[in-house]
Amino acid sequence: MKSYRTFKTALRGLGRNVMRAALTTLGIVIGVAAVIAMMEIGNGSSIAIQRTIASMGANNLLIMPGTAASGGVSFGAGSVMTLTPHDAEAIAKECSAVGNVAPVVRARTQVVYGNRNWVPMYIYGTTPSFLDVRDWTDLDDGEPFTERDVRNSSKVCLIGQTLVRELFGGESPIGQEIRLQNVAFKVIGVLQSKGANMMGMDQDDIVLAPWTTIKYRVSGSSLANVNQSAASAQNATVVNSLNQIYPNSQRDLYPVPSTTEQADTPQPVRFANVDQILAAARTSSQIPNAIQDITALLRERHHIRPGESDDFSIRDMTEMTKAMSSTTALMTTLLLIVAMISLVVGGVGIMNIMLVSVTERTREIGLRMSVGAEPADILRQFLAEAVVLCLIGGAVGILLGRGCSYLVTLWLRWPTAASVTAIVAAVAVSAGVGIVFGYYPAWKASRLDPIEALRYE
């Protein structure tokens, strides 16, 4: 009941001069509104930055096969066939920190269209989920291939903007046929331009096709077992030979392990391996959890006992992740500094007006003390007035800040994102500012001598 009476008395005191109370809260209103608007604009900008960097592969994890060795000689990364498409499916189903997964089979050969040819930097056999992993779902033209195309080894493909420029000029490639190792692929889609990555590699110089088609019709074996430069030279000599009626008749349907691989890791003949698996963590903060989940799952699937070394390796895009984290941290720090300045200015205004109010109400304070009010009661009354002013200003500031962020989105087309944390923090900070900046005037009022206060003119 004492707290209720204290706040009731505080509201009655503030109601005596509504205009002054409104002007007093103006600093808090502006400060809180600025905090809410800046936090929401900052969150929207941060999300936009994260999407941009994620499209460059910041959230991606590259899972590579292990390394074979014989007689103390290592054959390098990916020299054993340990990863399968089923591993990718298991990661997608059982690893909660992983958003999308795509197996990848690589190839290196010429692409021929009419009298033009080009050797793409990337020829990837994969699944439709590769576009989700690389945030490439919005095509420039056409449509992506489907899981049915993967199951049927369909001869369809997507190409990047570099191939469109080099092979087709101003002509539309949709529906046209290009040849890879004398295998005709129908172009059903064109990828949007991504430009160069952080290492300067052209991401648009790419061909995407079902991994079954690339593996069994084009490459015929894993690139891990082939000298790529030698394979490229050999392909250059046979790519234009049209005297083979059935160009795939000389190829094995399934990869044949080398002698070293058979000795080190014997596998069934129908073993379908992939060169790598590309996974995307749901968020950058979940990358460590994703690595841990994938490692535990693959060790279990590959029957690796405790103490044994893994037959795979996982690489994350540390450089891009650090860049994104530092950018987000810098933006958050700048917003907090501006918010603190705004709230401090509002708090100083509260303190100033409360000191004036104490001076004006000196006789009232003396009268209250003379009829039995304790100094603690006077302290609570003026402190309650300061807190009520700040809470009212905070509530109005929240509404004004939300309205400002909506107008920014509506007129300027800037991205914004509502922040519940910012709203809760604004209410807490408003009450805190009232307590901190209202305490001294309240304490000063409680220390007045009743006799001197009653004599005050």
d(CA 193, CA 140): 8
pLDDT digits (tens, 9 = 90+) for 378-424: 888 778 888 888 888 888 888 888 888 888 888 877 778 777 777 77
Confidence of residue 271 (pLDDT cuts 50, 70, 90): low
pTM flag (> 0.75):
no
The backbone torsions φ and ψ at residue 281, rounded to the nearest 5 degrees and listed phi first, read: -70, 150
Per-residue tokens: 345: 């200015």
**Does 209 or 246 have the greater pLDDT score?**
209
CA 176 to chain centroid, in Å, comes to 36
Those residues with Cβ within 8 angstroms of residue 13's Cβ, 6 or more apart along the chain or in another chain:
357, 361, 381, 385
Residue 276 near residue 65 (C-beta atoms within 8 A): yes
d(CA 171, CA 179): 17
**Does 25 or 142 have the greater pLDDT score?**
142
β-strands 206-210, 156-159: how paired?
A: antiparallel
| 166 residue type, one letter | E
Mean pLDDT, the chain, integer = 78
Closest CA to 30 of 338, 386, 393, 388: 393
Confidence of residue 291 (pLDDT cuts 50, 70, 90): very high
Give pLDDT, residue 75.
Answer: 62
Going along 326-367, which residue ranges are E strands?
none
Give pLDDT, residue 416.
Answer: 80
4 pLDDT above the threshold of 80: no
pLDDT digits (tens, 9 = 90+) for 419-439: 777 777 777 777 777 778 788
Closest CA to 255 of 84, 17, 63: 84
- Torsion angle of alpha carbons 398, 402, 403, 407, nearest 10°? 150
d(CA 272, CA 255): 8
Give pLDDT, residue 144.
Answer: 93
Confidence of residue 294 (pLDDT cuts 50, 70, 90): very high
Q: Which residues pair with 365 in a beta bridge?
A: none
d(CA 210, CA 191): 15
130 pLDDT above the threshold of 90: yes
Neighbours of 264 (CB within 10 A): 16
Residue that has been written with the tokens 């591993």 in this structure: 87
Give pLDDT, residue 90.
Answer: 93
Going along 8-72, which residue ranges are E strands?
60-65, 67-70
d(CA 358, CA 189): 75
Confidence of residue 451 (pLDDT cuts 50, 70, 90): confident
Give pLDDT, residue 255.
Answer: 62
**Does 320 or 129 have the greater pLDDT score?**
129
Confidence of residue 241 (pLDDT cuts 50, 70, 90): very low
Which of 109-118, 212-221, 254-263 has maximum average pLDDT? 109-118
Closest CA to 290 of 269, 318, 314: 314
d(CA 59, CA 263): 37
Those residues with Cβ within 8 angstroms of residue 15's Cβ, 6 or more apart along the chain or in another chain:
21
141 pLDDT above the threshold of 80: yes
The backbone torsions φ and ψ at residue 139, rounded to the nearest 5 degrees and listed phi first, read: -80, 150
